[in-house]
Amino acid sequence: MAVSEPSVGGNNAITPTVYLDGEFMPPTKATISPLDRGFIFGDGIYEVVPVFNGRPFRLVHHLRRLRHSLAAVGIDSPIGDTDWHRILQRLVDDNGAGDQYLYLQITRGIAPRDHVFPVDTKPTVFAYAQPTVYAEPTATVEGVSTITTEDIRWQRCDIKSTSLLAAVMLRQQAAEKGSVETLLVRNGLITEGAASNVFMVVASNLITPPTGAYILAGITRELILELAKRHNIPATERDIEEKELAAASEIWIASSTQEIKPVTTVDGSPVGAGTPGPVFTRLLALYQEYKRAFCEGRVD
């Protein structure tokens, strides 16, 4: 399988069908109340699931994280895993199968504005799929530039909350400097990217910070660790001090939308030789092979 690179944000295609509160409809027919707490407070959670060859990738893992987020914020989802499988597959099929991204969001629902959780409010459930547009794999082949900055987010980064203002501001800082991602620093430690997990390689060892209150348990991160373990690539989950980045031979970012990307500069300084390193190349090949096996139905 050739390396292909999803063009993030470059896809303006309009999906034919969205799912809203029990019904499938064209997006033009979907209306959400301005009193929805998702709009008023950002009181909701979400997931983004890649779809390869018409099949949601690592869906069981995404639904597990969804349950974690819902439980953490006390939203009772009206939809269980079996229904999610059915709903999401219908959206994918309506959208022409192939490679896509699924977005799904559950908010606490519509209620008069009051911070306290409303009683007996029905959560709002929204989901849609959009086709992936692939670009020339420039970033995967040549690497991406990043900046570092203070992690200004909250202390529950394990929750995939729709309240993304801090992440939006942090990612914007990178964009304004012509960089792809902002690596976040909290108390001298690298947590993650504004919308990705971070890995570094030191002496051929793959290192990523442990998940917890300051780091989202990324599904791509989990797969990378799984593949590393299965193929005897030494990998460790431990804190990364910001100052260690200068000595890393490789740095990567990983997410469902970006897949795995080599970082070749941090704050303008080259990482290692300034080109994607050998551990990245090996892991990317394993990831592509895993994806191919998934597309061919050899793995779930």
Indicate the DSSP class of residue 196: B
- Helix (H) / strand (E) element for 66: namely helix 59-73
Q: Which letter does DSSP use for residue 110 in this model?
A: B
160 assigned to active site: yes
- C-beta separation of 195 from 261 below 8 A: no
Does 263 interact with ligand PLP (rule: CB under 6 A)?
A: no
Per rule CB under 6 A, is residue 105 in the interface with ligand PLP?
Answer: no
* 250 scored as a contact of ligand PLP (CB under 6 A): no
Amino acid letter for position 43: D
- 281, two tokens: 């190349």
CA 244-159-183 angle, to 5 degrees, is 25
Q: Indicate the residue whose CB is closest to ligand PLP.
A: 218
Residue 39, token pair as written in the block: 């709009």
Measure Cα distances from 6 to 101, 182, 191 in Å.
10, 19, 24
Phi, then psi, of 100 in degrees rounded to 5 = -150, 175
Q: Of the ranges 5-13, 103-111, 248-256, 271-279, which one interacts with ligand PLP (CB under 6 A)?
A: 248-256
By CB under 6 A, is residue 195 in contact with ligand PLP?
A: yes
Is residue 79 a contact partner of residue 87, using CB atoms and an 8 Å limit? Answer: yes
Is 56 a binding residue for ligand PLP by CB under 6 A? The answer is no
Residue 95 touches ligand PLP, criterion: CB under 6 A: no
Amino acid at 103: Y
Q: Scan residues 214-243 and list those touching ligand PLP (CB under 6 A).
A: 216, 218-221
Q: Name the catalytic one among 29, 160, 229, 291.
A: 160
CA distance 95 to 16: 6
- Of 95 and 197, the one with the shorter C-beta distance to ligand PLP is 197
165-194 footprint of ligand PLP as x/- string (CB under 6 A): ---------------------------x--
Q: How far is CA 22 from CA 19, 82, 127, 209, in A?
A: 7, 14, 10, 39
Q: Nearer to ligand PLP by C-beta: 140 or 255? A: 255
256 near ligand PLP (CB under 6 A): yes
Query: Is residue 161 a contact point for ligand PLP (CB under 6 A)?
Result: no
If one asks whether residue 208 binds ligand PLP (CB under 6 A), the answer comes out as no
197 binds ligand PLP (CB under 6 A): yes
SS3 letters for 122-146? Answer: CCEEEEEEEECCEECCHHHHHCEEE
For ligand PLP, which stretch binds (CB under 6 A), given 97-105, 126-134, 252-260, 286-294? 252-260
The binding site for ligand PLP (CB under 6 A) comprises 192, 195-197, 216, 218-221, 254-256
- Which residues are known to be catalytic? 160
